[in-house]
Structure 1
Amino acid sequence: MTLRRRILILATAVVLLGAVGVFAVLRASSRAAEKDRAQDGGPRVTRGEVALAPGDGGRRIVFRNMAWGPHRDELATVAADVPEGPRTASGVNCLRFHSAAGTGICLRADRGGVAESHRAVVLDAHLEERSSHPLAGIPTRARVSPGGRLAAWTVFVGGDSYAGTNFSTRTSILDLRTGRLDASLEDFAIRKDGKEYRNADVNFWGVTFAADERTFYATLATDGKTHLVRGDVVERTVTTLRENLECPSLSPDGTRLVFKKRVPGLPAEAPWRLFALDLASMRETPLAEERSVDDQVVWSDDRTVVYSLPGDFGADLYALPADGGGVPKRLMPSALAPAFLD
């Protein structure tokens, strides 16, 4: 065999080996992409950096990813103007989540040991744990105040649905600057119908904070009825304002609450409709959502609220005008507990 022929054979072999290597890399990349894609053919989910601080990338949504795959239940992010686009997952798991001003509250499950336990974890802007607090039950609601000073969470300590009567809740408020934890709003002084009030059946849930980092609104349940209350974290007091309001959410401008309300004649397992309450006039306006919503809505801006409804993989997010007009539109599939970050 001539030297020239040997060189030609060697060169051909090198080219073939290179082609095989390139094919193997492309095949591996394709399989990785397939693994990161929701099994229902939904949005692509890949591991990357997720931050809670405002950035140069424009407005974003951070939420619990519900799409099936290796990143299910992780906090993920998408661009707010492309909510159904590719998702970046953080590796941080949360059952409930909220964030404001670069601070997050993550209610998570710890599955080690004999029984599952739960914690409330305060996250910094890089999703690093700042503090952790054991929970007495199953996470259901979480909120951070607009300025990032206060965090609140609610857990079920009995039963599994607001729609029934056999449940109890515990709601806590944490001052993130001082570290003071009010473990239960039941310890606050209650003023109901103009009088001091105490009752063993009192339950609170669904805190929403005002911009003054002191005032909050929540649901108080007692004697078979629910009430909207306004609270003061400094004075440790709550005052009833109105009956039949649950899970209020205060608008960014502080003028309105959107809440769920039990409507007579609806099925016991799906009794709620969404309403808006103008705090100046105390006038209620029904929103254009005919399905029962068992969620505490989030305001995406001063005009629109976002909430979850059951979906193929747990929950989907819908957007709706807060003035009573418009129609519900699906914002994101397979997502829960959103926070809108500028």
Structure 2
Amino acid sequence: MTTFDVERSPIPLLDLAEINRAVSAEIDLAWRDIRGHGRYVGGVEIELFESAFADFCGVEGAVGVANGTDALELVLLGLGIGPGDEVIVPGNTFIATVEAVCAVGAVPIFVDVLEDTLLIDPDAVASEVTPRTAAVMAVHLYGRMADMDRLLAVTGRHGLALIEDAAQAHGARWTGRRAGGSGHAAGFSFYPGKNLGALGDGGAVTSNDRELLGRIRRIADHGRSSTDRHRHDLRGRNSRLDTLQAAVLSIKLPHLDGQNSHRRAVMAEYRAALPPHVVPVADDPRSESVHHLAVVRARDREGAIRALEEAGIGWGIHYPVPCHLQPAFAEFTRAALPVTEAAAGRILSLPMSPTMTIAQVRRVASVLTGGRR
């Protein structure tokens, strides 16, 4: 690609087509094998991926499920959390975190986030614990892990479950430990745009508690007994990872650490090149981020968006309306969350992809500086 092409070509927020193109031949072979054996649900590929993903996360086991929202809901159900219980959640998160809590009949208790990282504030969590609190949802947002040390101290002191919402944190680490292995259980999403993405919906639960994983597996398979498929011991549902998605994820998993490393290089270049009025959200030095998103605070967000659009550069906002201000959850809103609300008016997601070049990063930065479009 010539210098002119780099300066003029559109830059997508995420180049999903290019990511998948790199493994398209392997995916074609896997699809041929699946068509050959005909087990589109429950094929051997499921077990192979679950084992590989558990090893990757450094946990005892994993259960493939239909999507990331189901993963969180199934964790709550597996832990016996439901009506009468409260679950503490950050206001700054994707709506699915709160949907899962409401789906099991529990009450979401919104708390604010830390000013520097925009991740759940452990002190705010501690202040909201009541006799009805059953769990805390640690959301590893934007590819960065929440402060697991302080959250574990709070939940341990009060005997609460700590659930990791790791939908945006595949491969992230906190003091060396991967996302998905610090709490009682974690929910992952394999939505196509995730760092580890399928070709459709998919999700997984990870945990070091094999009994909990077994219960979640049964609930996700219509409550079916593990020894007699015609007996249903639990009131379950249908939430299974299908064979094709499992095969695709197994193909992509060995590339994930390398792709995450490239994302870190992209983010480092953003930090070096962006102008002072566009400031990346901070990373805690104890966390190794996988930068699912490149989130910045822009002093003039509307102006930044106009400049990006004029230059053919993709952008997003994650998320413009905090969960506690969404009409669907108005009944649970008890107080303002000033850090979350202030951030919602300034945050902006810049292009981030494991296929992104340093030249593209510099072009984005130049456009935001007011340079060449």
Larger Rg: 1
Normalised to the residue count of structure 2, the TM-score between the two structures is 0.23
Higher relative helix content: 2
Normalised to the residue count of structure 1, the TM-score between the two structures is 0.25
Higher relative contact order (CA 8 A, sep 6+): 2
Higher relative strand content: 1
